[in-house]
Amino acid sequence: MNTRAAVVLAAAFAFVTDSVSAAAYRNLYGKFPTNATPGDRMFADYLRAETRTLGERSLVDMHTLDDWDKHKVTARKQLFEMLGLDPLPPKSDLKATVTGTLDHPDFTVEKLHYQSRPGLYVTANVYVPKKISAPAPAILYVCGHALVKTDGVSYGNKVGYQHWGAWFARNGYVCMVVDTVQLGEIEGIHHGTYNKDMWWWNSRGYSSAGSEAWNCIRALDYLQSRKDVDGERIGVTGRSGGGAYSWWIAALDDRIKAACPTAGIVDLHNHVVDGTVEGHCDCMFMVNTYRWDYAQVAALMAPRPLLIVNTDKDTIFPLDGLVRLHERVRGIYDLHNVPSQLGLIVTEGPHKDTQELQVPVMRWFNKWLKKDEAPVPNYAEKLFTPQQLKVFEKLPADEITSKCYENFTQLAVDSAGFDRKKALAELQVKTFGGWPAATAPANVRQLASTETDGVRLTVHEFDSESGIRLRFYLAQPTAAAPKSLHIETVDDANWQQQLQIAKAGFAEAFGEEFARAGIDAKTPASPQQQKQFSGWMRYIRDNQAAYITFAPRGVGMTALGGDKRYQTQVRRRFMLLGETVASSQVWDVHRASEAARALPGMGGLPLHFHASPEMTEVATFAAIFEPKLVSLTLSQPPRGDKEAPDFLNWSRIITSGQLLTLAEQKTKVNLPKKR
């Protein structure tokens, strides 16, 4: 067996077996919390299966160059959208300003800021070689996360990566080293979902990757405006976060003629199954509306020269994922018949900017931008203090950089011309595109049955989709057949509350549920709980109603264990797969109604939805897609995206008021009367 075949086979084996390699992020997702629940294991199995599905279908239909050329047009448009750049922001005046210069015998450094959008300031250092007689090739160097801060003053990532700018200038390149939104001189945020609870970023279709991509596009505009730059010979590189931004700009913009992303991308298997997502902020990920694996991003560089670079012991960009990604992308370069324009460099080392990584990058750019394959004569070194490279003496008062997430993406607005049909179609594709393509049998099974006070309670289990087994609790009168079917979708607080009430009459049937919720079933119900239970039974008897209490995934028996950090990182895995927990819960409500209707005597009953407060938007979205729904009862109107659970992109499609309108056009909506 040849070496290349052995490497590919090893990578394939790692994917098929879901094994965690030596380079994987073992300490995070590799271990369940000490209070692991059935929900933890259900979610882990589900996410693993979904990851496998997306990985196996990535680029598999690209059999000819014509297939790729047709796909590439659509794929690039989708990537712009998933980065929050569709429609593109206007290319306003950059207002590029040089605030000072530094002199070195081999080059000068310009301290620059520009505005990629009005008020979105980007700070940079531009390294310009002194010995050039004609426009030179240029390198856009995009920084990783390098905290350089003294006495509360941030000097920017560019200070940490200054050695690259100096080295490129010494080798005949104009090099623009660009600060990122986070850790730049004006400090913004990359950690919206990571640890800031800004889940509404997903709802707005915003990722900090999008703002970085746009800043790079405008950096290219600036470089092409310079007389000392050959605008047809621009390359991009960067490591870690900068490696990711290298991928974004290379995939989006053909002005990049050669690229060397370093430690900036792996595949979904690494992120979701091995858990490397837990080591990354949001700038590493687009909003995955169209459910890509990351080889799709990398392939958009083809057929331009691309060198993929990393070390072999990088715990947040594992080697096995890098090899798998390279193999997928290699197939696209083979379709173009330019295999020599794709390279892979793996050196020994951890997640670190080593000299062994630096030299191949310089050689690659020399080869493709300068047609020069001579040995590299010098090495990268830091020459300046942070204070010397600082751009601003005083930060601008009109900056929006620190909060660019507030208004970066274009959001829906309330209007008289609201197109209901278009909105529904877009929601299905861009918000609920992670729903199963085909509906499998629900496999409903009764787990328990008991009667009290003229009401029969049955506990049922069903498949919402492959790997997601859920429960609902059906109460109906024993004296007569029910005349209507009511499904209440409960949140955690209401699930606990209803269990406490059920203890007054259904303690035996709810044994597992009480144990899961930490409720002592032997403790008698309080007088208030007994009164509530009696009222519940009376309602069911008097109204001849079948009443279902339903806990979707992540609630009740399938709630996650662990601490908040663990639960946050599980939620982030969903968004990487083009879903959210809330969008999956909407599907669960639909499937619960299907499973309920499959029970004897339930199929023809009028169907009514009810929602606990935190399930307001879940039930409302479920209502607009549910056929033959008679009514929807809510305790409050749908909330704005900052208060509601996150659903991918929904705030770009409709407002909360329009969501309510969609529901009202579909069924009768009952809301509390205004006081």
- CATH code assigned at 576: 3.40.50
Asked if 245 and 133 sit in the same domain, the reply is yes
Within this chain, do residues 433 and 401 fall inside the same structural domain, yes or no?
A: no
- pLDDT tens sequence across 534-574: 999 999 999 999 999 999 999 999 999 999 999 999 999 99
pLDDT at residue 523 greater than cutoff 90 = no
HEC profile for 257-273? EEEEEECCCCCHHHHHH
Which pLDDT score, from 0 to 100, does residue 212 have? 98
Cβ–Cβ under 8 Å, residues 24 and 274: yes
Q: Other CB atoms closer than 10 Å to residue 159's CB: what's the count?
A: 26
In a domain? residue 60: no
Peptide bond into 552 cis (omega under 30): no
Same domain? 391 vs 472: no
- For the stretch 591-603, pLDDT in tens is 999 999 999 999 9
Q: What digits encode the pLDDT tens for the residues 141-157? A: 999 999 999 999 999 99
Do 518 and 627 fall within a single domain?
yes
Q: What is the DSSP string of 449-482?
A: EEEETTEEEEEEEEEEETTEEEEEEEEEESSS--
Give the C-alpha distances (Å, rounded to integers) separating 460 from 444, 463, 539.
Answer: 7, 11, 21
Burial 456-486 (b: 16+ CB within 10 A, else e): ebbbbbbbbbeebbbbbbbbbbeeeebeebb
Q: Is residue 126 situated within a structural domain?
A: yes
Own/partner contacts of 56-59, CB < 8 Å, gap of 24 or more, are: 58/292, 58/293, 58/295, 58/296, 58/328, 59/295, 59/296, 59/299, 59/328, 59/331, 59/332
Each residue of 566-583: pLDDT tens digit?
999 999 999 999 999 999
Q: What is the mean pLDDT of the chain?
A: 93
How many Cβ atoms sit within 10 Å of the Cβ of residue 561? 16
DSSP 559: -
346 belongs to a structural domain: yes
Task: Spell out the residues 6+ positions from residue 457 whose beta carbon is closer than 8 angstroms to its own.
Answer: 448, 449, 450, 451, 473, 474, 475, 502, 506, 509
Which pLDDT value is given to residue 275? Answer: 93
DSSP at 274: I
Beta bridge mates, 109: 102, 127
Q: Read off the pLDDT of each residue in 3-28 and give the average, rounded to a whole number.
A: 32
Q: 221: which 2 tokens?
A: 């505009």
* Residue 117 predicted with pLDDT over 60: yes
Estimate to the nearest angstrom the gap between the alpha carbon of 495 and the chain centroid: 29
154 Cβ contact partners less than 8 Å away, ≥ 6 residues apart:
148, 183, 184, 185, 186, 187
- Tell me the pLDDT tens digit for each residue of 397-406: 999 999 999 9
The answer to whether 380 touches 250, Cβ cutoff 8 Å, is no
Please indicate, yes or no, whether residues 433 and 402 belong to a single structural domain of this protein. no
Per-residue confidence (pLDDT) for residue 10, from 0 to 100? 31
Q: Tell me what pLDDT residue 25 has.
A: 32
Q: Which residues contact 119 (CB under 8 A, 6 or more apart)?
A: 396, 398, 399, 400, 401
In a shared domain, residues 379 and 455: no
| pLDDT at 21 > cutoff 70 | no
- What pLDDT sits at residue 515? 84
Domain count, the chain: 2
Q: How confident is the model at residue 675 (pLDDT cuts 50, 70, 90)?
A: low
CA atoms within 13 A of residue 237's CA, in its CB half-sphere: 28
Which whole number is the average pLDDT over 446-469?
A: 95
Q: Are 230 and 135 in contact, with CB atoms under 8 Å apart?
A: yes
Are 236 and 256 contacting, i.e. CB atoms less than 8 angstroms apart?
yes
- What is the rounded distance in angstroms from the CA atom of residue 348 to the CA atom of residue 493? 51
Residue holding tokens 């959210």?
Answer: 580
Residues 6+ apart with CB under 8 A from 235: 137, 138, 139, 140, 256, 257, 258, 259, 260, 365, 368, 369
Whether residues 94 and 228 share a domain: the answer is: yes
- Check whether residue 193 and residue 299 sit in a common domain: yes
Q: Which residue has the tokens 């997430």?
A: 405
Write b or e for each residue in 525-545: b if 16 or more Cβ atoms lie within 10 A of its Cβ, otherwise e.
Answer: beeebeebbeebbeebbeeeb
Query: pLDDT tens digit string along 237-296?
Result: 999 999 999 999 999 999 999 999 999 999 999 999 999 999 999 999 999 999 999 999
State the SS3 of 166-190: HHHHHCCCEEEEECCCCCCCCCCCC
User: Is there a single domain that holds both residue 496 and residue 632?
Assistant: yes
Are 384 and 506 in the same domain? no
Cβ(462)–Cβ(470) below 8 Å? yes
Q: What is the pTM of this model?
A: 0.93
13 pLDDT more than 60: no
Q: Tell me: the pLDDT tens digits for 194-210?
A: 999 999 999 999 999 99
Query: Which one, of 314, 308, 311, 313, lies nearest residue 327 by Cα?
Result: 308
What average pLDDT does this structure show over 463-467? Answer: 96
Q: Environment class of residue 398 by beta-carbon count within 10 Å: exposed (0-12), middle (13-18) or buried (19+)?
A: exposed
Assess whether 99 and 216 both reside in one domain. Answer: yes
Collapsed DSSP state (helix, strand, coil) of residue 128: strand
The pLDDT of residue 14 is above 80: no
- The answer as to whether 414 is a domain residue is no
- How far from each other are the two terminal CA atoms of the chain, in whole angstroms? 78
C-alpha torsion sign, points 72, 249, 258, 279: negative
Q: Output the pLDDT for position 3.
A: 35
pLDDT band at 26 (very low <50, low <70, confident <90, very high): very low
Write the CA distances from 405 to 182, 325, 600, 650, integer angstroms: 12, 30, 51, 16
- Indicate the residue type of 128: V
For residues 36 and 609, the model is more confident at 609
* Residue ranges with strand state E in 483-628: 484-489, 545-550, 607-611
Question: For position 184, which CATH number holds?
Answer: 3.40.50.1820
Nearest C-alpha neighbor of 272 from the set 465, 48, 435: 48
pLDDT of residue 31: 66
Report pLDDT for 9: 28
Q: What is the 3-state secondary structure (H, E, C) of 316-365?
A: CCCHHHHHHHHHHHHHHHHHCCCHHHEEEEEECCCCCCCHHHHHHHHHHH
Q: What pLDDT does 57 receive?
A: 95
Whether 11 is covered by a domain: the verdict is: no
Cβ neighbour number for residue 282 with a 10 Å cutoff: 26
In-domain check, residue 8: no
Q: What is the mean pLDDT of residues 343-357?
A: 95
Q: Give the span between the Cα atoms of 580 and 644, in whole angstroms.
A: 12
Residues 488-514: what's their mean pLDDT?
88
Q: Note whether residue 393 is domain-resident.
A: yes
Q: Report the half-sphere exposure of 608 (CA within 13 A, side-chain side).
A: 15
Q: How far apart are CA 616 and CA 607, in angstroms?
A: 17
Domain carrying residue 562: 429-437+444-670
For residue 522, pLDDT over 50 is answered with: yes
- For every residue of 378-447, DSSP letters joined together read S-----S-HHHH---SS--TT--GGGGGGSSSPPP---TT--HHHHHHHHHHHTSTTS-SSPPP---EEE
User: How many residues does this entry show for the chain?
Assistant: 675
Q: Which H/E stretch holds residue 239?
A: strand 229-239
What is d(CA 176, CA 111) in angstroms, rounded to the nearest whole number?
10
Alpha-carbon distance of 494 to 497, in angstroms, equals 5
Gap between the Cα atoms of 49 and 311, Å rounded? 28
Q: Is residue 404 within 8 Å of 211, Cβ to Cβ? A: yes
Do 90 and 165 fall into the same domain?
yes
Local confidence band at 305 (pLDDT 50, 70, 90 cut-offs): very high
* Run of H or E residues at 310: strand 306-311
For the cut 60, the answer to whether the pLDDT of residue 19 exceeds it is no
